[in-house]
Amino acid sequence: MRPPRGKFSSDLIWNAGAFGLSALIGVLLNVLILRTHGASALGVFNQAYALYILLSQLAVGGVHLAVQAFVPRDLQAERRPDVQLTVALVLGTVTALVVMAFAWLLRDLPGRWSDSSGVGDAFPLVIPGLLFFTWNKVLLSYHNGARRMRLFAVFQLLRFVLMLVALAVLVALKRPAHELAALLTLAEAGLLLVLLPATLPHWRPLRVTGARQVAREQFRFGNRALAGNFLLDVNTRVDVFLLGFFLDDRAVGHYSMGATVAEGVMYLPVLFRNTINPVIPRAWHQGGAMLLGKVVRRNRRSFFRLLAPLIALTIPVLPAGMWMLGMREEPLTVWAVYTILVAGVALTAGHQPFLMLFSQVGRPGTQTLFIAGIFAANVLLNLALIPVLGLLGSALATALSNGALVLLMDHLARTRLQIRP
């Protein structure tokens, strides 16, 4: 099944614009923290951010993936998906409150792990944001599943805009470095205040027919998908976690500056992923393995031809951008970290947008196995290379783990879905 060309192209353009601006704001956030509070403060912030990302996936409990998979199915069957959103918000609220309670009880642990008082002081400030994040994640997944990509793109961008605004306020108020982590909670709360009213025209919350069956289905799907989704997001921050264990906050700050710029470029495959994700279950339900195989092969080649050279071109351009943004601290280290990380993404650019392939066709167990393999490769490589090569060893380990992504995706697609990717 080929989606309407105009719709697919329009979705891609909106996502490209939103993700491009989000990436730029993400870099600006790190530059501002670096220039106003120094490299150590940036290291503290990114370690707190990494913990927040980790816990946020536990808080949402995988139900957003159920929404993203089941909304297209319901629409395909000409059923209103209102109950999917209502049930997911209830389930997500319960799991978020449980995770928040445990996080608060263990709030001293992150500071002891990283031997950093700054991380210990910053971590409690992100815990309230977990509930707001859960609600926002479910609401955005509802719109993504329904292919309301303009709305989805605008609100994804708004999250970063609100983070920048919150940072500016905290800096203007001359708040201490560890309190900068509060911007994560403030941004999610602000996003919810706008996203919820914007969702109401597309959602009838009192239509709960079949809620018990939907809850069971979402709970089963979420439980099976949780480990994979948790590992997926932890995998994007495991380098920061392990660097925080081996090195000091200042070194983590230098690494995270290069990694944040690289993360901006990594949004390119993500925007293609957000656009192709709703197409995958429709192809699977309409034409099975044969049709899905055609969709994957055609788009994988197109994605690689477009993304690989585009990503590679950013490597020689970065030094000029660093100079314009006033990034004067350890510029060669930042550039080297960036170069290694984005090279790994460029070489696997055709596969990156299909990272959620197995989840989108209703195989959360296979998705978990897939992500666990990538995560294991990343952790083992980081543990082996950081003691030898320091910051560059972590970047190299993360880049090499993308090879596991390609090998595992191709193998599991053939053996579990009977498609040739």
Q: Where exactly are the structural domains of the chain?
A: 5-416
What does the pLDDT read at residue 1? 40
What does the pLDDT read at residue 3? 45
Query: Taking Cα atoms as reference points, which of 230, 134, 125 lies closest to residue 181?
Result: 125
CA distance 329 to 22: 23
Take residue 100 and report the two structure tokens written for it.
């928040």
In this structure, are residues 355 and 412 in contact, taking their beta carbons and an 8 Å threshold? no
Burial zone of 24 (CB within 10 Å; 0-12 exposed, 13-18 middle, 19+ buried): middle
Q: Name the CA dihedral angle for 313, 319, 320, 321, rounded to a multiple of 10 degrees.
A: 80
Take residue 103 and report the two structure tokens written for it.
């996080």
Question: Which regions in the chain score pLDDT beneath 70?
Answer: 1-9, 11-12, 77, 325-327, 421
Q: Where does residue 209 fall: left (phi above 0), alpha (psi -120 to 50 degrees), or beta otherwise? A: beta
What does the pLDDT read at residue 362? 82
What does the pLDDT read at residue 134? 95
